[in-house]
Chains A and B, each alone.
Chain A
């Protein structure tokens, strides 16, 4: 089967850096994605890693280590608007996404 583990909640202050970890177990692996969701709205794609290493997109970076079945999302220069739920998701097969339970990020002034 497939399973993902990520912290349920994280709190940080404006301007800080926060890292959200994700470990996974899956029978197949195409890649690890990260999505942001505000107040139960549409999940928004943030980043995708198919190969080991770091992917950087503006203030957001994502890292993958396939040998460790581990990845993380790094958010820099935190802003109040970054308060949201963040989901990691693995693709065990082409097109299919298995989501973690989500991490609730609270950014404080």
Chain B
């Protein structure tokens, strides 16, 4: 597709369930970022991939969060044993160039997760 695609757009999970959120970046984009945005807040960095390599995962809030991008294109953010504080919009962004270069960011629409 022409833009960054995320799915599902909305996900409701019971506390303790595992969820998987998918990001399909713009074809050929090297960099892929995951962000968490709580209601009324700006996005908070979670993790960064350059192609298939996860170069930075310092923003992942706990070991329940796991992200992968095995072939350097589609990425999945997995949250295990979800908690209510995980409720947020999860945003994916991609950039043509690697981090540190001046690449424009393209964002997906986000996946809104609600944990009951």
Partners in one complex: no
List chain B positions with a Cβ less than 8 A from chain A: none
